[in-house]
Structure 1
Amino acid sequence: MIATSDIFTISNQKQFEKTALKVFRHQREHNLVYREFCDLLKINPQEVKSLTSIPFLPIQFFKSHAVVSNTNPIQETFSSSGTTGMITSKHLITDVSIYEESYRSGFTQFYGNIEDYVVLALLPSYLERDGSSLIYMIEDLIRLSKQKESGFYLHNHEELIEKLEKLDQSGQNVILIGVTYALLDLIEKHPFKLQNTIIMETGGMKGKRKEMIREELHEQLCAGFGVTAIHSEYGMTELLAQAYSLGNGIFECPSWMQILIRDTEDALSYVKEGKTGGINVIDLTNINSCSFIATQDLGKKYPNNSFEVLGRFDNSDIRGCNLMVL
């Protein structure tokens, strides 16, 4: 059994690889869905000796299967957003304290003490449904900030505008976390000149606006908020870890998360740094579900495990990787 302390104390690449291989063997043994996937690929676990030889489970499996690596009771079920009638992903969480430690430690690693910030959240699409892992995280960060000004906003833009201006002018450090379309709606109502506020977009137009390339989006948000950089959070229902970008769309991972970039034509091989391909995520905090996930995002990897997200696959299937998706 892998202790969570082994995951959160990783400090170098050798440790990461050693722990990842232990997690692979554990999940190959105890996760029935992952084991069947490995068997279909004819993977001999004894021959898996590097990160690139670990099989990555297509993310669609979370829509059709219960992806769990133990028989403990389910404490939380996180679900993805989707339009009416769409099958959504379900992430069954048997130990929510691991998620809490992951996002709390991840936030500290990138931003320092949460108590130094007022946390404002503009997340209408997420607030209007149940089962959002993002709302779970932000609710907890708001509570941990111990700032009476911290809180959620739905459509009460005037109140948020007034609070943002007042807090920023007082010199208070603020993080405004928002879904992309809602941030654009806000700056259309009121242009800002913020000095002490971090704007963090969580992605997604949610069908409310046309999709935009990141450069164009960030240019508009920088101009509208009067800031020099837009921060971003990269996370998803099927993960317990988040990567953060402090600007320019370049994401960095916490020490328990890494990405690999697979070939779009051959899902079992990888491309070199700086080349575009499909994003495979290793999230070691997903110890109780699956830590090795082939996402439907396209990206590039750079030195020091940083990466860029460039968009999504056009088709719903990940080529060469949908053996069991029903």
Structure 2
Amino acid sequence: MRELPAFLQQAVERLLAFLAQDGCTDAQFDAMALELFALQYEHDEAYRRFCQRRGASPRRVQSWRDIPPVPISAFKDATLSCIPPPDCERIFMTSGTTRGDVKGRNHHPVMEVWDLSMRKHFEQRFLGAARRLPMATLFPSHEQLPNSSLARYLSNAVREYGTPGSRSFVDVQHGLDIAGLLDWLASAQAGGEPVAMLGASFSFVHVFDALGERRIPLPAGSLLLDTGGYKGQSRDVPLEDFYQRLSFAFGVPRERCINMYGMTELSSQFYDAGNAVVPSVKHAPHWVRTRVVDPLTGRDVARGKRGVLAHCDLANFNSATAILTEDVGVMVEGGGTPLTAPSPRGGEGDRERVVGEGDFHSAFLLLGRAEGAEAKGCSLAVQDFLEATRA
């Protein structure tokens, strides 16, 4: 690990251990969340001013739910970091499609935390029992796009879990190598062993267009992963049509067509268990919690009601753990079998719920982008943040 200021080094070491464990109690999550909130409050000036405007401080905040979430658009207008940006190992930038060349920035002092977050949840939710697979990615490599979190994600997947011959089929200068990809898929088909294809949704649309009515059924057990969104890089395709076409083109059951939901402003990803039915339920790892809120008030909406998603991602330790998105969703019951452990309060039969592999605390339906009153509420939240940081 690269050298960090002592205050940050200690927090990172504890956080790495927290991510590496198999689960956590709600009390353990709160303890880690409050520790990181205190760190950000002390060392992240822009965030501290925002919290002060909300009347939130380490003395007043009692739970992760009390931590003020930063609107994601604020990452375009303010520097959110506990250390100077030049001291960070990596700065991931957003695509800048909504406001021209204005890009959001998420600062990472070290990449160990981000990489561990990616690997652990990817293994749990995408790979499953498969430890390595031949992989084709439909996005440029991290070497070509060092400031892209998606490029890092897919490059990590190939490096850590791909077999020899796995590679990217998209180049920054030359675009999609459709001929090379089709040859790779044909070889995979002939080989008869499961493979994985991963990429941005708009890249898959370009492959659909190149295939036309042709199909290349992949071997049984193959997996497909798309990362959602089109960002003006291809024609938009409704979810139902997209997964129907994906399954048809490659002969992969929709239950094995996985969507990853993530964003530059976070350090962790969410996955579903396939898209036989859309929208599908997204699941978080044990170091993430999600609320569905009214962006005008910041309060949780009633369970089962739609609202704007607010995530508390402990892996986002340097900028802000709590993020208010511009995505609409509905909380649902999580999947898996609940795990239990003795409560730290003690007492026979006094058990506390543990969130671990197979039991994901934050499960929600992702319904799309905020519009109307919800979008207005998000805009007002951004305005409030900017007024606080400029005061």
Q: 1:187 aligns with which of 193, 200, 208?
A: 208
Q: 2:247 aligns with which of 209, 218, 222?
A: 222
How far is the alpha carbon of 1:275 from its aligned partner?
Answer: 1.7
Q: Which residue of 2 is the match for residue 147 of structure 1?
A: 163
Letter of the structure 2 residue corresponding to residue 263 of structure 1: D
**Matches of 1:285 and 1:218 in 2, distance apart?**
30
How far is the alpha carbon of 1:151 from its aligned partner?
Answer: 0.4
RMSD: 2.5
How far is the alpha carbon of 1:212 from its aligned partner?
Answer: 3.7
Is residue 138 from structure 1 mapped to residue 154 from structure 2 by the alignment?
Answer: yes
Q: Relative to structure 1, is the Cα distance of residues 180 and 126 closer, same or farther in structure 2, using a 3 angstrom cutoff?
A: farther
Q: Show the 5 A alignment for 1:135-284.
A: 135-145=151-161, 147-154=163-170, 155-188=176-209, 189=211, 190-194=214-218, 195-229=220-254, 230-248=257-275, 249-266=280-297, 268-284=298-314
Q: Which residue of 2 is the match for residue 288 of structure 1?
A: 318
Secondary structure in 2 matching 1:47: coil
Unaligned runs of 5+ in 1: none
Q: Which has the larger radius of gyration?
A: 2
Q: Which residue of 1 is the match for residue 6 of structure 2?
A: none
Contact residue 141 and residue 155 of structure 2 kept, 8 A: no
With structure 2 as the length reference, what TM-score do the two structures score? 0.76
How far is the alpha carbon of 1:238 from its aligned partner?
Answer: 1.2
Q: Show the 5 A alignment for 1:31-46.
A: 31-46=44-59
How far is the alpha carbon of 1:62 from its aligned partner?
Answer: 1.1
Letter of the structure 2 residue corresponding to residue 225 of structure 1: F
Contact residue 168 and residue 196 of structure 1 kept, 8 A: no
How far is the alpha carbon of 1:187 from its aligned partner?
Answer: 2.6
Q: Relative to structure 1, is the Cα distance of residues 143 and 44 closer, same or farther in structure 2, using a 3 angstrom cutoff?
A: closer
**Matches of 2:128 and 2:41 in 1, distance apart?**
36
Q: Which residue of 2 is the match for residue 321 of structure 1?
A: 381
How far is the alpha carbon of 1:317 from its aligned partner?
Answer: 6.6
With structure 1 as the length reference, what TM-score do the two structures score? 0.90
Deviates more, 1:248-257 or 1:42-51: 42-51
How far is the alpha carbon of 1:306 from its aligned partner?
Answer: 1.3
How far is the alpha carbon of 1:95 from its aligned partner?
Answer: 0.9
Q: Relative to structure 1, is the Cα distance of residues 91 and 316 closer, same or farther in structure 2, using a 3 angstrom cutoff?
A: farther
**Matches of 1:208 and 1:26 in 2, distance apart?**
39
How far is the alpha carbon of 1:107 from its aligned partner?
Answer: 1.4
**Matches of 2:238 and 2:291 in 1, distance apart?**
22
How far is the alpha carbon of 1:112 from its aligned partner?
Answer: 4.0
Per-residue CA deviations over 1:236-285 (Å, capped at 9, x if unaligned) read 1111111111213221111111211111442x101133221111111101
Is residue 48 from structure 1 mapped to residue 78 from structure 2 by the alignment?
Answer: no
Instruction: Percent identity, please.
Output: 26
How far is the alpha carbon of 1:115 from its aligned partner?
Answer: 4.6
How far is the alpha carbon of 1:204 from its aligned partner?
Answer: 1.6
How far is the alpha carbon of 1:89 from its aligned partner?
Answer: 0.7
How far is the alpha carbon of 1:21 from its aligned partner?
Answer: 2.1
Contact residue 7 and residue 19 of structure 1 kept, 8 A: no
Q: Relative to structure 1, is the Cα distance of residues 25 and 311 closer, same or farther in structure 2, using a 3 angstrom cutoff?
A: same
Q: Which residue of 2 is the match for residue 64 of structure 1?
A: 77
Q: Relative to structure 1, is the Cα distance of residues 319 and 64 closer, same or farther in structure 2, using a 3 angstrom cutoff?
A: closer
How far is the alpha carbon of 1:121 from its aligned partner?
Answer: 0.5
Q: How many residues align structurally?
A: 325
Q: 1:95 aligns with which of 110, 125, 135?
A: 110
Deviates more, 1:212-221 or 1:201-210: 212-221
Q: Which residue of 1 is the match for residue 88 of structure 2?
A: 74
How far is the alpha carbon of 1:227 from its aligned partner?
Answer: 1.9
Letter of the structure 1 residue corresponding to residue 293 of structure 2: R
How far is the alpha carbon of 1:180 from its aligned partner?
Answer: 1.2
Q: Relative to structure 1, is the Cα distance of residues 159 and 171 closer, same or farther in structure 2, using a 3 angstrom cutoff?
A: same
Q: Which residue of 2 is the match for residue 306 of structure 1?
A: 363
Per-residue CA deviations over 1:11-55 (Å, capped at 9, x if unaligned) read 233322222222222222221111111011122432221232221
How far is the alpha carbon of 1:210 from its aligned partner?
Answer: 4.0
